[in-house]
Structure 1
Amino acid sequence: MSKKVIHRADTRGHANHGWLDTHHTFSFAHYLNPERMGFGLLRVLNDDVVAPGMGFGTHAHDNMEIISIPLSGALEHKDSTGNREVIHTNDVQIMSAGMGLTHSEYNHSTTEKVNFLQIWVFPKLRDIAPRYEQKTFKPEDRQNKLQTVVSPDKNDEAVWINQDAWFTLGTLKSGFAEEYKLHKAGHGVYAFVIDGDVELGGEKLRKRDGMGISETESFSVKASSDAELLLIEVPMK
């Protein structure tokens, strides 16, 4: 029997700082919920909207895999390893903080908001050399199918992560149905509904709802309407 935990969109932590309107699926910053400290090795899932020209000033990280997925707009990234990039919709960025680095993130536009998901996963190996990777993915490759965008397999077309974790995106038509099979025993999947209505493992979810499912080998994915979906598979321990 699978184990499930459901987090409805309106139960997320929320803060509006004017320049930043953010929702936290798990405890983060001033939002502290002892029952929502993460899901397995997934620690942070933030849904951030940043005002034009604004952003996060230079700050430090270490020993965390940090993934950014823009949903609309463009995000400008700079870090202490010399990377300076702009991340657009259909791009996925990963930064292995490793033994430590500093970086900043700003809205690249002076006229339009940027909405992006910021996700943190605990690393497999600690204190590695900091690294950065960014790739553009064809949106047609996830039309009514599941597209892997993050993977621990360096031979995949996905961005590489220092953890046994897989991120999958789908832009699904109403009526889509498929079985998701977990890659390894002892893993779980955290599903985040970007838009629309879906049914996962028999549970009905709506826009910005999240659900963790574990202690199973597979589960059903069904689109009740046109929908966008992110699946994050991580070790539970």
Structure 2
Amino acid sequence: MLEVQELTKKYGKNVAVDHVSFMVQDGQVGILLGPNGAGKSTIIKSIAGLLRYEGGVGINGMKARSLEAKKIFGYVPEIPAMFEALTVREHIEYVKRAYNSDITEEEIDALLTRFELLDKQEKLGNELSKGMMQKVSICCALAIHPKVVMLDEPMVGLDPAAIKELKEVVLELKEKGCTILISTHMLEMVKDLWDVMFVMEQGKIIATFNKNEIADKDIEELFFEVTEPKTGGEEHE
């Protein structure tokens, strides 16, 4: 479970995130949506522990900053960062050792195969394309057998085959009871994945939707319903 309580982040006098609270339950896929500047990235980086903030973040009932919480938390950033002198496989080995993960060599091979990296496992970090770095970042997040996973714009830069695999991975994690939060602009890519959606605007959550409560409306219809400017009799000279 991922729980955000009254999260607030200020840059000087500018309030980037204003007392935001939301929850994603075990076995749910949460989607964080909003236009540029809405505060999504600030929330993502705060949850990941990359920013100081006011409020609280809980991971499976533990404070997100605690070591025990970090051990079960997988994070795929929007812009992947690679060690230039480590190979693809060594990146996963590094994460395995850092997190004391029990992932086996066979499981690593399966991950690399799944994301078409097995024949590229000896390539160095500085030899990888953006899409390949994204795949390595995903594999690293999965290598710790996470209970909570957060993905920031995970499908940007991926080829169609990798997008298909990532979708399947998300659904498999959900089936295992994992908590998943995805921040994205690509509504079409998550329409078959989401359970709960949080729409942000100007640092606040302006709408929350649960998939089992929206009848036959699709994700795009819901999003634009609350974000598009209202017209008709409301404009004045």
TM-score over 0.5 (shorter chain) = no
Larger relative contact order (Cα-Cα within 8 Å, sequence gap ≥ 6): 2
Name whichever structure is richer in strand by fraction: 1
Q: Report which of the two has the higher share of helix.
A: 2
* TM-score using structure 2 length: 0.31
